[in-house]
């Protein structure tokens, strides 16, 4: 069913099939197309969509003669588009309207390892970014406008790729600052459309124009800023209000999931000196040297009101040098670590944050649950886009 069909005859029908039970649900409804600002007010980034208002249904049991075989793991089609969220499903996001559109100019690139780098951008408009939040960016100016493709056998994801990406901001400034600079620390993703393009720029500059890494404005590379998102953040006023003794923060990161904690550490530089924090950071990483360097750059060791304990879990064997004191744990993060940290985890003033790949977060939540920390009390980073 196309938009044109709905315009001509504002009716629609949908069929939902259960391949496990064989039941089929038929829906009928009146339909209405939304375009431009009307569409984006319902679903951000979507310039055209169809609303269907259900007017009737028919439910047929055991209608399908075939069944999904027991034990078969269902996999989405590689052509399946990414999930889009409704505007009221992402209330903690500030999506810029078309009239508020901003751009970000690449100003500096810092290389931490062959696969990790920090890109610093300058926004054309001031952005309100709280520590731990993310910026939504439109890279179509870098990658070109998306062309219509019915099929793309080599890379099916290109068919539905809008080149919009979300990255946690790894820098932080004081709320009084007029700075429009923000940094994104990212890992090159194998096969990733945007990260591959950005790291290709790094490789070219390193070979032919290394001075442009320190001042990348000469490239004139500007991309769109769509908005700011994220409920995974350090709430500065709440963090220091009505706290008897130091505020205890327990942070757990997996891999490049360190980025929101870099922003939070940097933000603590601007906390009033009367506030004190006891922070435990558990880091699981294959690149401890790069991660510790990032932490050292974000943390102000001269602030006596912040006590930071860093625990690094890694399978690496290379020697690690860091200006930041840390405890090295060979191997993976395990439950025994959380058992040893129970007094802090169960203290009244403790907030627990986890950021990392979904499988990592699930394993950590299991460890925490077994030592008595409920999942609902743990803050997790979940991108909406």
pTM of the model: 0.83
Strand stretches in the chain, DSSP E: 11-17, 24-35, 48-60, 94-95, 102-113, 116-123, 134-138, 164-168, 181-187, 222-229, 247-254, 277-284, 306-314, 327-330, 350-355, 378-380
Q: What is the pLDDT of residue 337?
A: 94
pLDDT score at 317 = 73
- Per-residue confidence (pLDDT) for residue 33, from 0 to 100: 96
For the record, the structure tokens of 83 come out as 């999930």
What one-character DSSP code corresponds to residue 169?
Answer: B
What span, in angstroms and rounded, lies between the C-alpha atoms of 142 and 212?
17
- Give the pLDDT confidence score for residue 9 in this predicted structure: 94
CA–CA gap between residue 113 and residue 181 (Å, rounded): 23
pLDDT lower than 70: segments of the chain? 1, 91, 98-99, 146-149, 156-157, 159, 174-178, 236-244, 272-274, 301-303, 382-385
Say if CB 291 and CB 320 are below 8 A apart: no
Q: What angle do CA 40, 379, 315 make, to 5 degrees?
A: 110
CB atoms inside a 10 Å sphere around CB 7: 12
> Which residues, at least 6 apart from 217, have a Cβ–Cβ distance to it below 8 Å?
105, 106, 107
Crossing angle of the two packed helices 259-267 and 288-298, in degrees rounded to 10: 20
| Alpha carbons 234 and 216: distance in angstroms, whole number | 30
pLDDT score recorded for residue 224: 92
- All domains of the chain, ordered by start, with CATH? 3-66 (no CATH), 94-229 (2.40.30.10), 236-380 (3.40.50.80)
Burial class (CB in 10 A: 0-12, 13-18, 19+), 281: buried
pLDDT tens column, 249-304 = 999 999 999 999 999 998 887 776 667 889 999 999 999 999 999 998 888 766 67
Please give the backbone phi and psi of residue 80, each rounded to the nearest 5 degrees, phi first.
Answer: -60, 130
Instruction: Give CA–CA dist 264/294, Å, rounded.
Output: 13
- Order of strands, edge to edge, in the sheet holding 24-35? 11-17, 24-35, 48-60
């Amino acid at each position: 069913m196309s938009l044109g069909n709905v315009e001509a005859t504002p009716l629609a029908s949908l069929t939902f099939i259960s391949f496990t039970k064989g039941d089929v649900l038929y829906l009928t409804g009146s339909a209405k197309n939304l375009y431009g600002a009307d569409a984006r007010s319902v679903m951000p980034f979507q310039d055209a969509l169809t609303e269907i208002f259900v007017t009737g249904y028919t439910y047929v049991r055991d209608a399908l003669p075939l069944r999904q075989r027991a034990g078969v793991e269902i996999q989405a089609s590689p052509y399946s588009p990414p999930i889009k969220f409704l505007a009221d499903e992402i209330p903690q996001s500030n999506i810029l309207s078309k009239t508020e559109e901003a751009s970000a100019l690449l100003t500096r690139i810092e290389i931490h390892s062959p696969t990790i780098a920090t890109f610093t951008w300058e926004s054309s408009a001031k952005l309100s970014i709280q520590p731990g939040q993310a910026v939504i960016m439109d890279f179509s100016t870098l990658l070109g406008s998306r062309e219509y493709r019915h099929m793309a056998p080599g890379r099916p994801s290109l068919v539905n790729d809008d080149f919009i990406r979300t990255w946690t901001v790894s820098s932080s400034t004081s709320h009084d600052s007029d700075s429009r600079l923000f940094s994104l620390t990212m890992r090159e993703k194998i096969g990733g459309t945007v990260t591959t393009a950005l790291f290709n720029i790094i490789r070219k500059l390193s070979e032919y124009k290394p001075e442009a890494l320190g001042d990348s404005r000469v490239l004139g590379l500007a991309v769109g800023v769509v908005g700011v998102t994220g409920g995974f953040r350090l709430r500065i006023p709440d963090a220091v209000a009505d706290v008897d003794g130091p505020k205890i923060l327990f942070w757990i990161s997996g891999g490049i999931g360190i980025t929101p904690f870099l922003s939070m550490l940097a933000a603590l530089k601007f906390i009033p000196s009367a506030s004190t924090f006891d922070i435990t950071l558990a880091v699981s990483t294959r690149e401890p040297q790069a991660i510790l360097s990032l932490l050292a750059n974000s943390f102000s060791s001269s602030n006596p009101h912040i006590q930071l304990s860093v625990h690094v879990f890694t399978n690496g064997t290379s020697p690690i040098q860091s200006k930041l004191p840390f405890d090295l744990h060979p191997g993976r993060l395990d439950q025994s670590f959380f058992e040893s940290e129970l007094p802090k985890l169960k203290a009244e003033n403790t907030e627990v944050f986890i950021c990392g790949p979904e499988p990592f977060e699930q394993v950590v939540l299991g460890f925490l649950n077994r030592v008595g920390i409920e999942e609902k009390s743990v803050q997790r980073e979940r991108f909406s886009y």
